[in-house]
Amino acid sequence: ETGVTQSPTHLIKTRGQQVTLRCSSQSGHNTVSWYQQALGQGPQFIFQYYREEENGRGNFPPRFSGLQFPNYSSELNVNALELDDSALYLCASSRSAGETQYFGPGTRLLVL
């Protein structure tokens, strides 16, 4: 176990709704990165948060947004959900930006 936790484990939403996913980083880690893993694919980088600031973003639209809190936990928010947003959402924490990333178990999102 990596010590990275995510909630909820599963979620079902309908198209157009909004969703918030949560991640608690491993103790001593100040950086959280979020990834989207579609079925049968490798994870794709969404963005990274370092000390409460966004610190790099992948090729995802602005309706994907995030936050990092003073305790370094993080949220991923997705607005105006689309069917293609159905995926496993993974967060990974690291001791600092640029260091080894350790993944949580993921949140499985299904958009109907």
Partner 1 sequence: QKEVEQDPGPLSVPEGAIVSLNCTYSNSAFQYFMWYRQYSRKGPELLMYTYSSGNKEDGRFTAQVDKSSKYISLFIRDSQPSDSATYLCAMSGEGTGANSKLTFGKGITLSVRP
- For partner 1, the binding residue among 13, 22, 57, 95 (CB under 8 A) is 57
Q: Return the range that interacts with partner 1 (CB under 8 A); candidates 11-19, 67-75, 79-87, 96-104.
A: 96-104
* Spatial separation of the C-alpha atoms in residues 38 and 29, rounded to whole Å: 26
Question: Residue 64: beta bridge partners?
Answer: 78
* Spatial separation of the C-alpha atoms in residues 96 and 78, rounded to whole Å: 25
> What tokens were used for 39?
């079925």
Residues 26-55 interacting with partner 1 (rule: CB under 8 A): 33, 35, 40-45, 48, 50, 55
Nearer Cβ to partner 1 (18/108) = 108
* Residue with token string 């309908």: 14
C-alpha radius of gyration, the chain, whole number: 13
* Spatial separation of the C-alpha atoms in residues 42 and 44, rounded to whole Å: 7
Q: Closest approach of Cβ 66 to partner 1, in Å?
A: 13
Number of Cα atoms under 13 Å in the Cβ half of residue 81: 21
Residues 3-22 interacting with partner 1 (rule: CB under 8 A): 4, 6
> Under rule CB under 8 A, how many of the chain's residues touch partner 1?
31
Q: Closest approach of Cβ 6 to partner 1, in Å?
A: 8
Residue numbers at the binding site for partner 1 (CB under 8 A)? 2, 4, 6, 33, 35, 40-45, 48, 50, 55-58, 90, 92, 96-106, 108
